Amino acid sequence: MAYTLEEFCADTRAALKSKPLADALPRIAEHLSRLLGNSAFVDEAFKGNMEPSKRELYHDAELDFYVLAHVQPGGKAGKPHSHGNSWAVYGNARAQTDMTEWRRVNPESDDHLELVASSKYSLTPGQTRAYGPGVMHSTAHPQTAWVIRVTGTDLDRMPRYQFSKKDKILERA
């Protein structure tokens, strides 16, 4: 029998309640990979949702985590960001997401950020990755991508890093 959204949410709740967050996030990523292997779930999650958009599939009121379906437009590249004190688990359902993890190289006391890319990789269908609190990362989508994202809260209500002209993003040569 195929692994369902309901089973995924129950397993996510159990992991968050029984393990420290650093141990729970990899388990949630494993469960999300299993869920992405259910083609009926993928079809239902993105049914009628082929234009770039975001749709809430589930919200756990007790633990405040969300399961979201995103259709990301091709050619879109996001800026480096973290989710503050929250977390996110990304999983690709269709196409590819190019991920970059960033590391700050200047003192936190500076009023600007200087970042270097510390890791680059792609998530393809069925692949997942967890990002704990404060982990800086960015996404890019060479073509339209269908992504499931699980978040520790409503990230749209959280303060985000705002990059200004004096901020520097340094690519390693």
Q: Quick: pLDDT tens for 26-64.
A: 999 999 999 999 999 999 999 876 788 899 999 999 999
Domains and CATH numbers, the chain: 5-170 (2.60.120.10)
In terms of DSSP bridges, do strands 97-104 and 88-94 run parallel, antiparallel, or are they unpaired? unpaired
CA dist., res. 163 & res. 166, Å (int): 8
* For residue 160, pLDDT beyond 80: no
> Chain-wide mean pLDDT for the chain?
90
Confidence label for 173 from pLDDT (cuts 50, 70 and 90) = very low
* For residue 16, pLDDT beyond 90: yes
* For residue 172, pLDDT beyond 60: no
What integer pLDDT is reported at residue 164 of this predicted model?
A: 57
21-36 helix and 5-18 helix, angle to the nearest 10 degrees:
170
What percent of the chain is predicted at pLDDT more than 70?
Answer: 91
Average pLDDT over residues 65-85: 91
* For residue 166, pLDDT beyond 70: no
* For residue 162, pLDDT beyond 80: no
Specify whether the CB–CB gap between 90 and 129 falls below 8 A.
yes
79-114 tens-digit pLDDT? 888 888 899 999 999 999 999 999 989 898 887 788
Specify whether the CB–CB gap between 134 and 108 falls below 8 A.
no
pTM, full prediction: 0.90
Specify whether the CB–CB gap between 101 and 132 falls below 8 A.
no
- Amino acid letter, 18: S
Strands (E), the chain: 53-59, 66-72, 76-77, 88-94, 97-104, 114-123, 128-131, 136-141, 145-151, 168-170
CA dist., res. 84 & res. 61, Å (int): 20
Confidence label for 6 from pLDDT (cuts 50, 70 and 90) = very high
